[in-house]
């Protein structure tokens, strides 16, 4: 039960941080050069950093700029410059450090034989530059797990 709550919590954290997440560039594929004009909403609450290093108010304005700039795309959501993955992981870990009270605070032994102080620290350890790494829980408590109490369970 708490593991699914923890998963929901991390996806909520990732959703909120996604506005600054460094993602592979999204190149505008369709031909927009023939469009006579570009009318976009004046919404500035969804900025996009272009592959040219410029911040656009929204994706529509980036798409309009792609009419005249070949290969222009979106590098990340949010203002330029995009956060490097390590900085993003640190931001997420800071949010995780303020874990909700519903999440158990006891130690966990990970499948990497590391003792984590609580589920939130365990979750933070799963964050890597490439997303979430395969890391499970061997048992509740400190490593090494006592014989007969091991329970390998993937957290993803």
| pTM for the full predicted model | 0.42
Sign of CA dihedral 133, 95, 4, 15: negative
Please compute the mean of the pLDDT values over residues 35-40 and round it to a whole number.
Answer: 70
Query: How far apart, in Å, are the Cα atoms of 128 and each of 85, 92, 93, 104?
Result: 8, 11, 11, 23
Sign of CA dihedral 142, 147, 151, 154: positive
Higher pLDDT, 95 or 14: 95
Please compute the mean of the pLDDT values over residues 2-9 and round it to a whole number.
Answer: 53
Q: Tell whether the model's pLDDT for residue 99 goes beyond 70.
A: no
Q: Tell whether the model's pLDDT for residue 125 goes beyond 60.
A: yes
- In order, the DSSP letters of 50-100 are ETTS-EESSHHHHHHHTTTSTT-EEEEESSSSPPPHHHHHHHHHHHHHT--
Q: What is the pLDDT of residue 53?
A: 92
Q: Locate tokens 């979430």: which residue?
A: 132
Query: How far apart, in Å, are the Cα atoms of 72 and each of 63, 127, 129?
Result: 8, 30, 25
Q: Tell me what percent of the residues of the chain surpass a pLDDT of 90.
A: 6
Q: Tell whether the model's pLDDT for residue 102 goes beyond 80.
A: no
Q: What is the pLDDT of residue 67?
A: 81
pLDDT tens, residue by residue, 52-97: 999 999 888 888 888 888 888 888 778 888 877 667 666 666 766 6
Q: Which of 28-37, 81-90, 134-143 is predicted with the least confidence, judged by mean pLDDT? A: 28-37
CATH topology of domain 22-77: Wheat Germ Agglutinin (Isolectin 2); domain 1 (3.30.60)
Q: Which residue in 76, 151, 148, 71 sits closest to 109, CA to CA?
A: 151
> Strands 48-50 and 55-56: what pairing?
antiparallel
Instruction: Please give the Cα distance from 90 to 105 (Å, whole number).
Output: 21
Domain residue extents for the chain: 2-16+84-154, 22-77
Higher pLDDT, 107 or 41: 107
């Amino acid at each position: 039960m708490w593991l699914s709550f923890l998963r929901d919590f991390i996806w909520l954290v990732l959703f909120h941080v996604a506005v600054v997440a460094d993602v592979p560039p999204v190149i505008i594929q369709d031909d927009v050069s023939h469009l006579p004009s570009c009318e976009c909403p004046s919404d500035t609450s969804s900025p996009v950093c272009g592959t040219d290093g410029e911040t656009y108010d929204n994706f529509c304005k980036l798409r309009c700029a792609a009419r005249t700039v070949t290969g222009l795309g979106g590098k990340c959501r949010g203002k330029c410059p995009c956060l490097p993955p390590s900085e993003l992981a640190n931001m997420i870990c800071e949010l995780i450090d303020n874990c909700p009270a519903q999440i158990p605070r006891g130690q966990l032994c990970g499948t990497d034989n590391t003792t984590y102080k609580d589920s939130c620290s365990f979750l933070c350890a799963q964050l890597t530059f490439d997303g979430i790494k395969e890391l499970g829980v061997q048992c509740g408590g400190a490593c090494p797990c006592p014989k007969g109490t091991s329970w390998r369970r993937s957290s993803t």
